Amino acid sequence: MDYLDVARQAALEAGDLLKGYLGKVGEVEYKSKNSLVTEADRVAEDLIIGMIKATYPSHGILAEESGTHREGSNYRWIIDPLDGTTNFAHTYPFFSVSIALEIGGEVKIGLIYDPMKDEMFIGERGGGARMNDTKIVVSRTVKVEESNLCTGFIHTADWMVEENLRHFGNFIRRARAVRRDGSAALDLCYVACGRYDGFWELGLNPWDTAAGYLIVEEAGGKVTKFGGEEYDINDREIIASNGKIHDEMMNVLSSGRTDISTESTVKE
């Protein structure tokens, strides 16, 4: 069984598990302000990690709920067992399983599975992107005013919320539409397949974007930081687009920036 087969099987089984829990979640815990975790998150993560360890016991793992396993390996699986936990807890059917494999510090495989629509998005470094074995490409939209955009709000710090409110307002005035769906992983997939033309967000973590940013790039899109710098999964800001509206998106974002050197990133 190769790397992609393991990721695919783990995502399918975790997705089935999540569907079984939907609408039956009991206690919901808070990791931080507006950051939820449920029993389903933990059980799905245990399932995925167990399958990876059973096949590749020497590989490292970074998972949202349990952190780092086996540091120092040249191979690292990056896992978000349930991206969109708030949606899930409210039985809003927009959430996903995200699994990426990093080899030598570079993400080589990205897989995101939407169990409710049974849509599996896959990107392989140098091998293109597909959904359910059909090749996908980004949209052809060339102007922000004709675009359908998406974003998300992280509540880690007050300044982050205020800044994104400014960005949201600026884009609402410029774009055809702006959505906030609650799963960054799926948002990135929707950019990759042309349902969205662009996406931006602040405050995300590696497990939120590792698979999705590769899928966007392999679908012909562009992913950077807000100022156009090369994106790294440890960065806390991201723009993903079809490439054609990227510069215009950066210009809109530049008009709503906060000087983060003067802001605390640990406010609650």
**Distance of alpha carbon 184 from alpha carbon 236, whole angstroms:** 13
Q: Is 259 exposed, middle or buried (0-12, 13-18, 19+ CB in 10 A)?
A: exposed
Residue 223 to residue 230: CA distance in whole angstroms? 8
The confidence score (pLDDT) of residue 65 equals 83
Across the chain, which has 268 residues, the per-10-residue mean pLDDT values are 93 97 75 66 94 96 87 94 93 97 97 98 98 97 98 84 93 96 97 98 96 98 97 96 98 72 35
Alpha-carbon span 145 to 98, nearest angstrom: 31
Closest CA relative to residue 115, chosen from 194, 13, 34: 13
pLDDT at 255: 81
Q: For CA atoms 219, 8, 116, 83, give the dihedral sign.
A: negative
Predicted confidence at residue 64, as pLDDT, reads: 87
Amino acid at the residue 160: M
* Residue 255 DSSP SS3: coil
Looking at residue 12, its pLDDT comes to 98
pLDDT score of 256: 56
pLDDT score of 261: 38
- Tokens 């140098």, located at residue: 126
| CA distance linking residue 105 with residue 95, whole number of Å | 27
Per the CB < 8 A criterion, the answer to whether 259 and 157 are in contact is: no
- Residue 39: its pLDDT value, please? 85
Global pTM value = 0.91
| Residue for token pair 């939820």 | 36
